[in-house]
A = this chain, B = another copy of it.
């Protein structure tokens, strides 16, 4: 940079940035710099009003009638279509329902069944050792279910873990049925090249499921352009849907009539109100639904989606890259010598929208930061993680956060005993 990097120079850049105005669309607490929007996004204005409307009017006054009159029945697909516009989805390809973990189970089971018909020797689910653990656990649960209930001996379904793209490519042999990858890694922030990796997986004869939990709303995504098979993800991180808001599942339209999934609740039935005594799946994305959704938590998602759709995703991404670059530069200049080691890739194309550092006292440092109003989070082992959400973070926020980090490191404030908060949810 030609001008020296100061808080004032950053404030000038903020003042000229149209995206900064989106900060007014959120209610954030005073005195807090929130760097954990990759774990739980901030409260959009309008969400509290929407919740009150659902509870007081639609539930309280409309009662059961609101399933029709307030559009509750349509919400999973209507909101799914809105969300889909951020994913490169076509209308009718996305549903908001259940949790990310459950949606991954549906996608993996569906992929295994399709492979069973075409290529029965493909019985491996390939995923990342460094994936968010629930993705590994649910794959293991699925394989274990089939293996344990089957009477057969011999080759069983298996979950294999890879540690790098080179290992992934080497592992793509004729035994692999499906590959489940997190587009952006929950800990490191590193990002797969969705187009190239999808193509490599398809070339090997396998199917792919992308977990977009740390990507949706954070980076530009085009699932159809990448020709992906399935995607799942959550709405409570960069999409600001609220705590535990229902997750999404996307299935490429070319698969809708063919693919089957085993969590075949009545919402996935072709005619749920006929009350038939045998299951006939819907011939569209409804096939990937299951049971009745939590209406209040579901309805609130719309407030965050509307803000995200108003923003220019390319501009969000540009700001995210700039803010992460700034964070790294400030840590490496103003916190030099304190032992923080960058974990996140520097290369723009190889990272998402959070930035992580390793430090042997990472846990205590994060606890001290939170105590001082700079909210990041901690991930085993030794990782300090900071979510960068350009819709409500500015350059001066980044400056102030790193200054607080510097002060804590400089004064050894993190050694104080009271810093014993427990980890938050990813």
Residue positions of A touching B, CB distance < 8 A: 27-29, 32, 34, 36, 39-40, 42-43, 47-48, 51-52, 54-56, 58-61, 63-68, 72-73, 98-102, 105, 109, 112-113, 116, 120, 129-130, 132-134, 136-138, 140-142, 144-146, 148-152, 154-155, 157, 161, 187, 234, 236, 242-247, 260-269, 272-279, 290-298, 300, 370, 375, 377, 379-380, 421-425
| Other-chain residue from B67, B234, B262, B272 in contact with A142 (beta carbon distance below 8 A) | B262
A242:B59 contact, CB within 8 angstroms: yes
> Complex: how many Å from CA A412 to CA B28?
58
Q: Can you list 15 contacts pairing A with B, beta carbon distance less than 8 Å?
A: A43-B56, A48-B60, A51-B55, A55-B242, A102-B291, A113-B149, A140-B278, A141-B279, A150-B152, A152-B152, A187-B275, A244-B294, A273-B380, A273-B423, A297-B298
| Other-chain residue from B36, B274, B291 in contact with A100 (beta carbon distance below 8 A) | B291
B277:A51 contact, CB within 8 angstroms: no
* Residue in B closest to A153 when the chains form the complex, CB atoms: B152
* Residue in B closest to A425 when the chains form the complex, CB atoms: B67
A300:B290 contact, CB within 8 angstroms: no
A292:B60 contact, CB within 8 angstroms: no
A244:B42 contact, CB within 8 angstroms: no
Given pairs A73-B425, A151-B155, 5 additional interface contacts (CB within 8 A): A68-B422, A113-B145, A133-B266, A146-B149, A149-B150
A56:B64 contact, CB within 8 angstroms: no
> Complex: how many Å from CA A322 to CA B22?
58
- A99 with B55, Cβ < 8 A, contacts A161-B277, A277-B136, A295-B243 known: no
